[in-house]
Amino acid sequence: MVIPYFIRKAKSADVFILLILGALLAGVAELPYGGWIQIPILSLVWWRLNLNTHSNFKSFFSLGMVFGVGYFAIGLWWLYISLHDIGGINSLASGIAVFLVSLYLALYFAFANIAIVQFQKFRLQGLLLAASWVLIEALRGYIFTGFPWMGFAEGQFNGPFAPIAPLLGGLACTFLVIWISWEIYLAPKHLKSSVMLIVSVITLSQLAGLVSFTKPFGEPISIRLIQGNFEQSLKFNPQAIRQQINFYTSQIKEGAADLIVIPETAFPWPENNLPSGLLNYLQEFSNASSSNLLLGLIGEVRNSSDVQYSNRATGLSPNSAPYHYDKVHLVPFGEFIPPGFHWFVNAFHVPMSDFARGSPDQAPFKIVRQDGGEIYAAITICYEDVFGDEVASRINNSDKPVNLLINMTNLAWFGKSQASTQQLRLSQLRSLETGLPALRATNTGITAVLGPDGKVQASLPEFTQATLSTTVQGYSGKTPFVIWGNLPILSISCLLLIWGFLRHRRF
């Protein structure tokens, strides 16, 4: 068994303490100043791990695993809801699945912490530990299509290092969290130098927030974001689907706006199966009201041999051809089936779980204002806003200037959990990194309008059926992160580790 193996390699007291610290670290992320609170908790983690640097490698690595399991089991427990409550998998199997996901993600934390042992008795050990974490977190966002959810970066939206995001991105925030938490751990031994360093880094980070790289563009646009609050368990019930389609159609018709958005798969049937003439009917409404509509539905991608489905956002603008955005970064097991795992997905009893992947260079959505002006919006669907480097790359490479971010999401899969607040922080971090406002149209919440600084300007309560009617100001310009992405912080981290290894060999 995996659990006994990696637990028996460590002392029981260390196992218990690191498991609790990991869980506590995940829990405090939900607090108003969670990003600040996480830093001293991490210092306690380094203190406890450093007590074991004399142990053999397996024991130290196992303790890193324990810490990671505690962190991810608390942070991602909502996966149990999608597996058990929605997917119909029994309690034991669902619990084991959540544990295995946590165990896999904990591997990254354990590998990142090896720098503590590798660079012992080195005053700049914290810098090398931070560099190690950045590279490992980058891998976590890449291997097996990536799952960087629950990184320390999004917690920093409520922490001291958020202003660094427009310059160097979320991974740079992670770098500073690890480095400064290590300096706090060292403070009793190096009080003067550690305190000066901590105060200087935090001060410089806060001063970075005074610099703005984007500016308002054109006049604000009127928007309506419709939150349907439909249970996921009804998603594939034909009668419930008709009621859902009727609700969103009637709500769209309630009033004109420059932009009206409904959530991801709000029309949960393939385009061909939608009520006859529905899209034409909505196009006529768009023409008559001068409203731009953005609809979440199941798209159809035709090739020479067959038809595949896609998770699609369809845009309808006055007197224009329809716009299509097909989701690019698909969810493993939810939207595409990795080779050899069809048997596992069949246990969910959910149809259409192997979607076509959209092209990464899709154009932004053009929003034609009622006064004739235009702004462009970059679309993301569901957890695509986890991948900040991909969002930045799309904006930087776009033929049209992007003025607005729009995320369409359905988190009904995860019930009444912290998944919605976690994704809100991710969207806030994306706005901060790009310097652009964002709209979040969700099924159950959190439907919101975010400013270019990521702060919530307006929102709807969760689990309510309502429409958010307000305005949003488009912005123009590019932040350094949009231009360079993660390249600077990854380069810095690589150079630091090369320097550290060379110095280690010399001495």
Look at the block and give the residue holding tokens 């991801």: 264
**CA angle 439–442–446, rounded 5-degree value:** 80
Residue type, 270: P
Q: Count CA within 13 A, CB hemisphere, residue 284.
A: 6
Cβ distance 80 to 98 under 8 Å?
yes
Q: Choose, from 271, 327, 433, 478, the residue flagged as catalytic.
A: 327
Please identify which residue in the block is written with the tokens 């291997």: 143
Residues 6+ apart with CB under 8 A from 239: none
Alpha helix positions (H), 9-56:
12-28, 34-50
> Bridge-partner residues for 302, per DSSP?
307
Q: Which class for 422: exposed (0-12), middle (13-18), buried (19 or more C-beta within 10 A)?
A: buried
Gyration radius (Cα) of the chain, Å? 24
Residues in the chain: 507
| Nearest partner of 235 among 331, 349, 326, 333, judged by Cα | 349
> In terms of C-beta density within 10 A (0-12 exposed, 13-18 middle, 19 or more buried), how is residue 286 classed?
buried
Query: 264 catalytic, yes or no?
Result: yes
Q: Coil, strand, or helix at residue 227? A: strand
Based on the residue annotation, tell me whether 327 is a catalytic residue of this protein.
yes
214 near 477, Cβ under 8 Å?
Answer: yes
Q: Which candidate in 137, 154, 183, 264 is catalytic?
A: 264
Q: Which member of 9, 235, 335, 382 is catalytic?
A: 382
Residues with a catalytic annotation lie at: 264, 327, 382
